[in-house]
Amino acid sequence: MSAIIFLIFLGILVAGGFLAAFIWAVRSGQFDDDYSPSVRMLFDKDDIPSIKPESETDEKNEVTESEEQPDRNQ
């Protein structure tokens, strides 16, 4: 029984160590993307999809409720 308690405590300790290492890596910038900016100049602007905020969407793309769901009761 004491071996199980020891292994549970050891597992919690190891998991806490991995969590601390992950938090340290995120805060120190280990997961920052350094590769994409260096190759971004190789692509044309037309090849990169642009994401527009909802406020800048075209009015032509808006669908009214009557166009979205036709009346099937007729």
Domain-located, residue 28:
yes
- 18-23 long-range contacts, CB within 8 A, separation 24+: none
- pLDDT of 39 reads 77
pLDDT bracket for residue 54 (50, 70, 90): low
Of 25, 5, 23, 24, the closest CA to residue 13 belongs to: 5
Is it the case that residue 64 has pLDDT exceeding 60? no
- pLDDT of 40 reads 74
| Pair 31, 25: CB distance under 8 Å | yes
Q: What is the mean pLDDT of residues 24-53?
A: 75
Q: What angle do CA 53, 54, 59 make, to 5 degrees?
A: 125
Is it the case that residue 50 has pLDDT exceeding 70? no
Domain-located, residue 10:
yes
- CB within 8 A of 25, min separation 6: which ones? 31
- Total domains in the chain come to 1
Q: 16: domain range?
A: 2-53
Domain-located, residue 12:
yes
Q: What is the mean pLDDT of residues 56-74?
A: 55
Q: What is the mean pLDDT of residues 45-65?
A: 58
Domain-located, residue 58:
no
